[in-house]
Chain A
Amino acid sequence: QVQLVQPGAEVKRPGSSVKISCKASGGIFTNYPIHWVRQAPGQGLEWMGSIVPRFGPSKSAQKFQGRLTFTADESTGTAYMELNSLTFEDSAVYFCLSGSCLADWGQGTPVTVSS
């Protein structure tokens, strides 16, 4: 199993962007895609998209297309998710996950969009 480490909470203004990191333990990616999922307060899980770090292609849910970007830095074993044009509805906990059976989860990064 791989540990995925995410940063602490973020507070952002409406219209701004947030970029969240997800660092694989040992700084080494596996061959599994890294997925990003979010969970608004009291709500369910929402799949946002994924990236295959070593090969580059990323996928995103249709609702985020145009304001969501995934990148990966193989030299540090860190994946990134950047969401632009934030609205209040983007306030949520953002998780990265990967591995066989999607068993490896980061601890989540709470993002609050507030004016």
Chain B
Amino acid sequence: QAVVTQEPSLSVSPGGTVTLTCGSSTGPVTSGHYPYWFQQKPGQVPRALICETTHRQSWTPARFSGSLLGDKAALTLSGAQPEDEADYFCLLSYPGSRYVFGGGTKLTVL
């Protein structure tokens, strides 16, 4: 089974920009992995932010954007707000309709 890697933790200053990445042990992440990004705050159910690399949900603030960056999927937060402090998980789709989550990135806004 593939291993999906994320930065364990990152920090950003309020108003700053940070990029979270999502890599795959099987090779470059492409649009064919349909990268998803989820946000989870303490005690809450995860919620979908972005799917299919770049598609933002209706409730996803415009300061979040998804992309492919080099051989990884990326979630960029531009203009971080205190309420963006959360855990972020990426999810990749693999052949045979099997999926693997990354280990998650704990984002601190300070």
Contact = CB atoms under 8 A, between A and B. Distances in A.
Interface string B65-92: 0000000000000000000000101010
Nearest to A46: B101
Given A44-B89, A101-B52, A102-B91, A59 B98 contact: yes
Contact of A101 (B40, B48, B87, B99): B48
Contacts, number: 56
B10 interface: no
Contacts of B89: 44-45
Contact of B99 (A47, A105, A106): A47
Interface string B4-30: 000000000000000000000000000
Interface of B, helix, strand, loop or mixed by DSSP: strand
B57 interface: yes
B32 interface: no
A81 to B, nearest CB: 15
Contact of B36 (A33, A46, A102, A107): A102
Contacts of A45: 38, 40, 46, 89, 91, 101, 104
Given A45-B89, A95-B45, A102 B51 contact: yes
A23 interface: no
A112 B105 CA distance: 26
B47 A47 contact: no
A108 interface: yes
Interface residues of A, number: 21
A53 B91 CA distance: 22
A62 to B, nearest CB: 5
Interface in A71-85: none
B33 interface: no
B91 A108 contact: no
A23 B99 CA distance: 22
Interface of A: 33, 35, 37, 44-47, 50, 59, 61-63, 95, 100-103, 105-108
Interface of B: 1, 36, 38, 40, 45-48, 50-52, 55, 57, 87, 89, 91, 96-104
Given A45-B46, A47-B91, A59-B96, 14 more contacts: A33-B97, A44-B87, A45-B89, A50-B99, A95-B45, A95-B46, A101-B51, A101-B57, A102-B48, A102-B91, A103-B47, A103-B48, A105-B45, A105-B47
